[in-house]
């Protein structure tokens, strides 16, 4: 939170604290959980972060989160068709788990239960002053899914976690433990209708030799605030692929923290931000290479139109012992309007001397040469521009290689262009 | 890829325990008592024989400074500075401000000779360079070498400025800032504090209150300054801080190249150096500012050394103007410095070329800011950071394109190299675009050479590896070429460093 004393609470800060006072007794949790919830609310009392907090350099949460809608106890969102056909859907509807499908090789529990028995307490807010998302979520989290993938299990069908709302507030968690040498694909959907404050936090542990693909599809309505956080710990010789697409929301902050903790492991991040209207979307990643011989690549592609504001902060930290790290990060942006904005802060913090680390960041308009090439072939300018923007994004999606996945996400791209192109 | 042996040796040659300029000059000094208060500021102002407006400006800054707090965002750490434990004024007794060469204390002349800075015009003209390092330049340029006018600043005062007459004939004013305040008050008043305002930052505000000397350059309309100008800063006294102020104005169509060098004796306590440099380039003017920063870096255990907290900023105020910063940084215990360009005039250009080498326990947090305000503005940033020993070396830079700055272009390249496993290299760029026609490119590895360039070279039959080498060499050469010949000898040690094995 803001380390400086805040003279007066904003309406949003006050609303969060008051709401906690009202809901407190209905929220699940043993003593350990309650202690964490109280600490989180104390942190909120000292104010939401402003730009003075370096991690929030381009997103003044205190100013941007101007209002907080009330919880709507009557809302009950409806399950959506899965993104990938054949997927097992695990829906959280307006903040509550309503069904518990069985998946062979995966032990599934409700977050509600893991809060009640206190086994989730260690994943809750731990006092980090910049962790506003952790604090807000910890104060109010009520449900979600905890998945435990058995050692050696190969889960053939994708698992789809849905966090759906009909306005108001929802605060959920997904906790996933992928056992040694297991394989799985998980899709996380974040969407709904109506003015909302949504927070979602995932803690993901990838044990030695496991391979996990995780796709986050965020399609919040234009009046929703989405605060997402994905925390990943990767063991030895393991591989984790994270893909995200942000295609909605009024205020979006997507935090990704990764600890590549085991030797010989790999982390892949691909992200697409489709920014239109008045959206403010901030993707902030902190990636630690803590062990030797690890590889990571991150490619983020952004399209900014209308008055949208985009932010990418990416920090790669290489510890002294993480020799032979190979880390590459790129953030490319097409800024299509003068009213739009994009800010990037790609950071490297390197303490090992035998590594190959790099980052590249570009902000440009559409390449005039490419445009000319297409138009010279009789394609009109609007279509040519559309093709180029689409190709720019599709390149990143295609890195996923899985045909069904690529197709499904490209359809989402098409749908977005149909309304914003 | 780890650093190659040659590089390791090159860096070793300039390690902290190899510091060559750590000697002290024993000379009688006139010092203000320790401490900082309004009386000390009045004393400094009186010593400089300043007009009332100058004193008022200083006092206003001092009052503001008392309400400010030290910045903490940089990646540097140091014990709290006791600002009351510093002498804010120290001057050799024999010198009462700038004077002619004949009147300068011979001890001071010897000091500058030992540092390799020739102050005697006749010797320079005759090409005699007994004390300086043998210069390769003499061979290139014949017997005469190149002439450089020097302003020598010793602790708080400028002791001598050379070639003043010849420069005056061309219309160029080159003198100490104290002299300029007395002799050219209108010019100083018009421009001083217009690039770095009083309220800018903690150290700049402190500097405004207590600055004691520095250089002033004014190049009139259409004049190309006939020689390189140079200031050599030397901190000598114990427990003093050096707070110099430099102001350079290039009128319409003018050109000037300015060099700056600095050293200090080896001492166990830390000394503060908080300078402010302001550059103003009007229509079609160009200012080239080069620094070889070699303040005492502290010993191998991190004891002593200069805290170099400097605010340098250039304002491309006119159309088609250009400001170029080149820096070679090897000294100081802590460096906190971001030479910047405000690209206000349409078609103006800003450049920043930097080689920063940190050793021992040195901490460097340095970079640049390029603020694109005018149309068709172009900026270029090339930064090479090399960390060794237990040092930390951070590049921190900002490129910002404002809403109305159409067709702004930036290219940034920062490479870092670590030597050994106890140091750190960090890159913190801030890239901000608010205009759709902006074209910003930031890259941080040699492997990220533009594919177009690579393709261009390769399609002419050159194998990939050679093509890359060619492009990289061309790239580094470009930086080296920015260094003025006068600093070649000092800088050569650094230029020789191969950047093979660099990381982003």
Residue B59 domain-assigned (yes or no):
yes
- Tell me the nearest-neighbour CA distance from B302 into chain A, angstroms: 19
Residue with tokens 């002799």: B183
Contact B360, B331 (CB under 8 A): no
pLDDT at B139: 33
Averaged pLDDT, A248-273:
97
Looking at this predicted complex, what is its ipTM?
A: 0.87
- Tell me the nearest-neighbour CA distance from B76 into chain A, angstroms: 14
Contact B438 A352 (CB under 8 A): no
DSSP states along B472-504? HHHHHHHHHHHS-GGGHHHHHHHHT---TT-B-
Residue B35 domain-assigned (yes or no):
yes
- The CA-to-CA distance between both ends of chain A, in Å, stands at 38
Choose from A358, A365, A368 for mutation: most chain B CBs within 10 A.
A358
Contact B256, B219 (CB under 8 A): yes
Contact A341 B444 (CB under 8 A): no
Nearest CB partner across the interface for A342, out of B422, B433, B504: B433
Using the 8-state DSSP alphabet, how is residue B356 labeled? E
Which residue in chain A has the smallest CA separation from B390? A351
Residue B383 domain-assigned (yes or no):
yes
Residues of B in Cβ contact (< 8 Å) with A364: 438-441
Share of chain B above pLDDT 70, in %: 75
* Residue A378 CB neighbours (<10 A): 8
pLDDT tens per residue, range B374-427: 999 999 998 888 787 888 999 999 999 999 999 999 999 888 877 777 888 899
Residues of A in Cβ contact (< 8 Å) with B440: 361-364
pLDDT at A128: 92
Q: Which residues pair with A332 in a beta bridge?
A: A301, A362
Residues of B in Cβ contact (< 8 Å) with A352: 418, 421
Query: Sorting pLDDT into bands at 50, 70 and 90, what band is B127?
Result: very low
pLDDT tens per residue, range B450-469: 567 778 888 888 877 666 55
pLDDT at B474: 53
Helices (H), B419-487: 451-458, 464-482
Residue B500 domain-assigned (yes or no):
no
Q: What span, in angstroms and rounded, lies between the C-alpha atoms of B252 and B62?
A: 34
Helices (H), B48-184: 52-65, 106-114, 121-126, 136-141, 164-169, 177-183
- Tell me the nearest-neighbour CA distance from A311 into chain B, angstroms: 9
How many separate domains does chain B show?
1
CA distances from A347 to A356, B70, B88, B431 (A): 14, 24, 38, 11
Residues of the domain holding B176: 5-495
Residue B503 domain-assigned (yes or no):
no
Choose from B399, B412, B503 for mutation: most chain A CBs within 10 A.
B503
Locate B457 and state its tokens.
């070279």
Contact B424 A351 (CB under 8 A): yes
Instruction: Tell me which of B483 and A39 has the higher pLDDT.
Output: A39
pLDDT at A252: 98
Residue B478 domain-assigned (yes or no):
yes
Mean pLDDT for all residues in chain B: 80
- Report whether pLDDT(A5) > 60: no
Residue B502 domain-assigned (yes or no):
no
């Amino acid at each position: 939170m803001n380390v400086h004393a805040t003279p007066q609470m904003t309406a949003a800060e006050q609303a969060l604290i008051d709401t906690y006072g009202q809901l407190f007794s209905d929220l699940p949790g043993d003593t350990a959980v309650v202690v964490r919830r109280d600490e989180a609310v104390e942190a909120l009392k000292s104010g939401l972060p402003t730009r003075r907090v370096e991690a929030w350099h381009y997103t003044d949460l205190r100013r941007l989160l101007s209002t907080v809608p009330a919880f709507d106890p009557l809302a009950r969102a409806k399950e959506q068709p899965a993104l990938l056909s054949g997927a097992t859907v695990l829906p959280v509807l307006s903040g509550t788990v309503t069904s518990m499908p069985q998946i062979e090789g995966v032990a599934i529990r409700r977050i509600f239960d893991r809060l009640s028995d206190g086994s989730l307490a260690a994943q809750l807010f731990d006092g980090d002053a910049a962790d506003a998302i952790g604090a807000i979520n910890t104060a109010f989290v009520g449900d979600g899914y905890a998945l435990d993938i058995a050692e050696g299990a190969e889960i053939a069908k994708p698992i789809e976690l849905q966090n759906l709302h009909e306005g108001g507030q929802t605060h959920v968690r997904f906790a996933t433990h992928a056992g040694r040498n297991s394989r799985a694909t998980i899709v996380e959907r974040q969407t709904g209708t109506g003015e909302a404050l949504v927070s979602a936090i995932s803690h993901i542990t990838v044990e030695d030799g496991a391979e996990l693909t995780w796709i986050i599809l965020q399609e919040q309505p234009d009046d929703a605030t989405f605060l997402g956080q994905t925390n990943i710990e990767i063991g030895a010789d393991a591989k984790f692929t994270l893909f995200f697409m942000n295609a909605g929301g009024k205020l979006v902050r997507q935090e990704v923290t990764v600890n590549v903790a085991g030797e010989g492991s790999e982390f892949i991040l691909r992200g697409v931000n489709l920014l239109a209207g008045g959206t403010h979307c901030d993707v902030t990643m902190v990636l630690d290479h803590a062990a030797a011989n690890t590889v990571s690549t991150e490619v983020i592609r952004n399209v900014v139109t209308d008055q949208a504001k985009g932010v990418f902060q990416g920090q790669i930290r290489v510890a002294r012992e993480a020799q032979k790290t190979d880390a590459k990060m790129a953030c490319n942006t097409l800024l299509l309007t003068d009213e739009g904005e994009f800010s990037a802060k790609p950071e490297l913090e390197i303490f090992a001397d035998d590594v190959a680390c790099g980052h590249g960041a570009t902000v440009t308009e559409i390449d005039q040469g490419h445009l000319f090439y297409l138009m010279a072939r009789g394609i009109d300018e609007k279509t040519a521009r559309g093709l180029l923007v689409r190709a720019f994004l599709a390149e990143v999606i295609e890195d996923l290689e899985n045909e069904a996945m690529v197709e499904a996400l490209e359809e989402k791209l098409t749908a977005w262009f149909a309304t914003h192109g | 890829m780890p650093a190659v042996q040659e590089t390791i040796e090159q860096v070793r040659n300039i390690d902290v325990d190899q510091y060559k300029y750590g000697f002290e000059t024993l000379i009688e000094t006139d010092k203000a008592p320790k401490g900082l208060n309004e009386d000390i500021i009045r004393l400094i102002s009186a010593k400089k024989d300043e007009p009332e407006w100058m004193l008022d400006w200083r006092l206003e800054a001092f009052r503001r400074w008392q309400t400010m707090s030290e910045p903490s965002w940089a990646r540097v750490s140091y014990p709290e500075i006791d600002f009351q434990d510093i002498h804010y004024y120290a001057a050799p007794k024999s010198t009462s401000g700038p004077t002619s060469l004949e009147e300068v204390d011979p001890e001071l002349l010897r000091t500058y000779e030992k540092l390799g800075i020739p102050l005697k015009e006749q010797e320079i003209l005759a090409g005699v360079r007994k004390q300086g390092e043998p210069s390769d330049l003499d061979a290139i340029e014949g017997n005469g070498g190149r002439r450089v006018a020097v302003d020598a600043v010793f602790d708080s005062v400028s002791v001598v400025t050379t070639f003043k007459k010849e420069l005056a004939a061309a219309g160029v004013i080159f003198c100490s800032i104290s002299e300029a305040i007395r002799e050219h008050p209108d010019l100083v008043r018009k421009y001083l504090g217009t690039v770095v305002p009083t309220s800018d930052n903690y150290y700049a505000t402190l500097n405004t209150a207590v600055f004691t000397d520095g250089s002033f350059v004014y190049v009139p309309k259409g004049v190309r300054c006939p020689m390189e100008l140079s200031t050599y800063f030397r901190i000598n006294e114990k427990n003093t801080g050096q707070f110099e102020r430099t102001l350079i104005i290039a009128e319409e169509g003018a050109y000037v190249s300015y060099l700056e060098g600095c050293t200090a004796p080896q001492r166990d306590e830390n000394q503060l150096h908080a300078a402010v440099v302001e550059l103003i380039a009007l229509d079609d003017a160009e200012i080239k500012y080069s620094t070889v920063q070699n303040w005492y870096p502290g010993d191998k255990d991190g004891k002593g050394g200069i805290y170099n907290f400097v605010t340098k900023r250039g304002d491309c105020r006119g159309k088609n103007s250009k400001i170029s910063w080149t820096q070679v940084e090897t000294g100081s215990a802590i460096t906190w410095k971001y030479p910047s360009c405000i690209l206000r005039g349409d078609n103006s250009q800003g450049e920043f070329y930097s080689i920063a080498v940190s050793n021992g326990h040195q901490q460097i947090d340095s970079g640049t800011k390029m603020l694109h305000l005018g149309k068709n503005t172009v900026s270029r940033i090339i930064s090479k950071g090399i960390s060794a020993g237990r040092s930390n070396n951070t590049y921190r830079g900002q490129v910002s394109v404002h809403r109305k700055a159409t067709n702004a272009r930036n290219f940034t390249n920062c490479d870092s190299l670590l030597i050994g496993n106890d140091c750190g290299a960090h890159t913190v760029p801030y890239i901000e675009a608010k205009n759709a026609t902006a074209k910003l490119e930031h890259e941080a590895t040699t492997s990220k050479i533009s594919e177009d360039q690579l393709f261009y070279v390769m399609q002419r039959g050159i194998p990939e590896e050679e093509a890359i080498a060619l492009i990289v060499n061309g790239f580094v050469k470009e930086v080296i070429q920015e260094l003025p010949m006068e600093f070649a000898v000092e800088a050569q040690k650094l230029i020789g460093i191969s950047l093979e094995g660099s990381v982003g």
